[in-house]
Amino acid sequence: MVPIKVNLCNRADYGGVRAKNPEWIVMHYTANDGDSDEGNGKYFHNTIVKASAHYFVDDDSITSSVPLEMVAWHCGANQYFHPTCRNWNSVGVELCDTVKNGVHDVTEKTLQNAAELVAWLCGKYGIPTSHIIRHYDVTHKICPAFWCGAGVDGIVKFRERVEDEMGAKIEQSVVIVQGAEKPVRRVLVEGQNFLNLRDLAKALAGVVDLEIGNRGSIATITVE
């Protein structure tokens, strides 16, 4: 993955600490014609706009603008068209338009960098690729515009690209605990199962008491 730089946006532009790990990844576009992750990072660092995103992605790097454990204001609305995705349970990723050509679009390289970032996020939090959605899916804002209307298959192709980066699909499966099947999410890589920690803790409830938490970006496990 290309370098991830950190330029935190103005503290007035994002919310507090999440109540739990994110479950959705919401894709956006900056709606500019010729911009960069660094330029957006600098703008949000210096400006109070009451809006934000966790990441900005361009051709050669990524800027982290809001810490992952904090709530970015990227898909809020007075009316929602998605049943569950909100700011507090999602990660906002903005696609920059690095080529100034009179068209709001995105380069192949930016898409690839975004796919690598999102694949990492899916692996980190156990997010299935079906939970990679557009801003449009949450609020019906035309964003990213090139993935709306005639370009609606763009988000489908992006999910497939993320799956290719992951090398496997996150899927619903089961683990057998004392003869009973318990639902878990898993990634199968080269014959090995990698299970979501929180799902495993639920499956083991009553057999082994596990408490799963986090300290910043590091998972914590407490056995009682």
Residue 62 belongs to domain with CATH number = 3.40.80.10
Whether residues 69 and 81 share a domain: the answer is: yes
Whether residues 9 and 71 share a domain: the answer is: yes
Whether residues 181 and 160 share a domain: the answer is: no
Whether residues 68 and 153 share a domain: the answer is: yes
- 146-174 per-position pLDDT tens digit: 999 999 999 999 999 999 998 756 678 89
- 13-30 per-position pLDDT tens digit: 999 999 999 999 999 999
Whether residues 20 and 125 share a domain: the answer is: yes
What type of residue is 141? K
For the purposes of burial, counting CB atoms within 10 Å of the CB of 38, is it exposed (0-12), middle (13-18) or buried (19 or more)? Answer: middle
Q: Of 214, 212, 88, which Cα lies nearest the Cα of 223?
A: 212
Among 166, 186, 201, residue at a domain's last position: 166
Whether residues 145 and 195 share a domain: the answer is: no
Q: Which domain holds residue 75?
A: 4-166
Is the peptide bond preceding residue 144 cis, with omega within 30 degrees of 0? yes
Whether residues 42 and 101 share a domain: the answer is: yes
Cα–Cα distance for residue pair 110/97, rounded to 1 Å? 8
- The counts of H helices and E strands in the chain are 5, 13
Among 138, 166, 194, residue at a domain's last position: 166
- 39-73 per-position pLDDT tens digit: 999 999 999 999 999 999 999 999 999 999 999 99
Indicate the SS3 state at residue 211: strand
pLDDT-based confidence at 224, cuts 50/70/90? low
Number of domains forming the structure of the chain: 2
- 130-140 per-position pLDDT tens digit: 999 999 999 99
Q: Of 93, 95, 119, 117, which Cα lies nearest the Cα of 107?
A: 95
**Is 33 within 8 Å of 72 (Cβ atoms)?**
no
Whether residues 80 and 144 share a domain: the answer is: yes
pTM across the whole model? 0.77
Give the mean pLDDT of the chain.
91
